[in-house]
Structures are given as structure tokens and as C-alpha cells.
Amino acid sequence: MPSRAVGVPVVMGGPHVTGMADEALGRSGGPRHADAVALGEADESWPKIVEDAARNKLKEVYAPVDEFGQERKPTLQPYPYSVGRDKPGPV
């Protein structure tokens, strides 16, 4: 039985959810899969998600924002060089 069905809050994130949050939230005509979604890199928003969940006050959407309240986009710069490689990219 899915966690949502037994009252356990579900938070989803990752590339698919970031690109298709409405699907996870049941806004695109299908079933709702999550109570909340974390968009982009959740490193900064995760503590707020946990705090809100503990207070039973989850928002539907969490996105990383800067000090001005503007959405912070993750960098699209390549990852650092892999060990033993002289160019960035997949190993």
C-alpha cells in the first residue's frame, strides 16, 4: 500500500519531478503521487521541508531561492574532472 494511502507524507524530487512537478502533484489528470515536491537541488530546501513536515505544514512546492526570494537555478557547468582524465564528462 502506498505511503500516502496510510497517511505518511511523501516528498518527491529529482530531475523527473523538477521537470514535471504537476504530474507528481496530480495536476496533470493522473493520480497524485506526492504531498510535496522539491525542485532543483534540494540541498538548501531540505531542512525547510523537514521542519514544515514536523509541523504538519508541508507546502506543495519547494524550490531553492536566493537572498532576494528569486529561484536559484543549479549550475549547468560540467562536474570536475574525473580522476585520471584531462577533460570533464562521464567516466
**What are the two backbone dihedrals, phi and then psi, of residue 38, each rounded to the nearest 5 degrees?**
-110, 115
- Domain hosting residue 80, numbered range: 1-91
In this predicted structure, the answer to whether residue 3 has a pLDDT above a threshold of 80 is: no
Number of folded domains that form the chain: 1
In this predicted structure, the answer to whether residue 72 has a pLDDT above a threshold of 60 is: yes
pLDDT, tens digit (0-9, with 9 covering 90-100), for 39-60: 988 877 899 999 999 999 999 9
Q: What is the mean pLDDT of residues 35-41?
A: 92
Residues 13, 37 contacting (CB under 8 angstroms): yes
Residues with Cβ within 8 Å of 29's Cβ and at least 6 positions away in sequence, in order, are none
